[in-house]
Amino acid sequence: MATRTLEALLDTPEEWALFLDIDGTLLDLAPTPDSIQVPEALPGQLNRLYAKLDGAMALVTGRSLSFADQLFKPFAFPLAGLHGAEYRDATGVSTAAESGAFETLKRQLAREAESYPGVLIEDKGGAVAAHYRLAPEYEEILHERMQHYAEMAGPGWALQLGKMVFELRPARASKGDAVERFLQADPFKGRRPVAMGDDLTDESMFAVTNARGGLSVRVGALDAPTCAVHRLSSPVVVRNVLARLAA
């Protein structure tokens, strides 16, 4: 059902705006953040789809803007990075996250994580993530320690839970807010959103999409609780749908 609905969007492309998460949605999850693989054809397919939608397509991700650009080079799409703390609009103008004293906290966290073999610290600039996919036995203690660092960071920062990861990010940032921001400006303005994501961090994006009469699609485990109204089973299915849309 979701596949047929999505493939019908290009019957009236001028009515729709597409918002895509990256990890676990466009790309298969990997054991470490840096080992993620981008299928060779995907950047070009996204660029063709971007053109068909007259630019009303954006990536909305927990990755940094610079990292996401490396994944899909030579293309630079409208993008909300770090859950919206970083933002590049359709004209190419970027807004960066500010980290300030957060740099000291990140160094402390990285040093402490050396005591937890297999735990990987991902420095995203304006955010920091502690991945325990390779060391699930540290989930409880890592959650406790990340709550401690969230308290150290202060009210301007929030602890975000994800798939085998705890992340400290700017509290003002959410993917839902990022989608709202895109929808206030051309070429997104006046269109109905289609949002695709796979994680807890995408639920705010789904909520905004539903409220605006759009199509929200949760990717992955079909029994995961979500406010999305459609489901696709895996990033492979997502890529197949997008390839057909881009053809």
User: pLDDT digit string (tens) for 182-212?
Assistant: 999 999 999 999 999 999 999 999 999 999 9
Which residue is it, tokens 């770090």?
82
> Does residue 134 surpass a pLDDT of 80?
yes
**CA angle (222, 10, 243) in 5-degree steps:** 60
- State phi, psi for 136 to the nearest 5 degrees: -60, -20
> Does residue 98 surpass a pLDDT of 70?
no
| CATH code for residues 2-96+173-246 | 3.40.50.1000
Residue 245 CB contacts under 8 Å (≥ 6 apart), including other chains: 6, 7, 9, 10, 49, 52
pLDDT exceeding 90 applies to what percent of the chain?
81
CB 57 within 8 A of CB 17: yes
Rounded average pLDDT over 85-93: 93
CA distances to 5, 22, 80 from 69, in Å: 29, 11, 11
- Residue 34 to residue 131: CA distance in whole angstroms: 12
| CATH code for residues 102-170 | 3.30.70.1020
Q: What is the pTM of this model?
A: 0.86
pLDDT for the residue 102:
86
2-96+173-246 and 102-170: identical CATH topology? no
> Does residue 99 surpass a pLDDT of 80?
no
Instruction: Enumerate the domain spans of the chain.
Output: 2-96+173-246, 102-170
E-assigned strand segments in 54-181: 57-60, 79-81, 86-88, 94-95, 120-123, 128-131, 157-162, 165-170
Known catalytic residues are 21
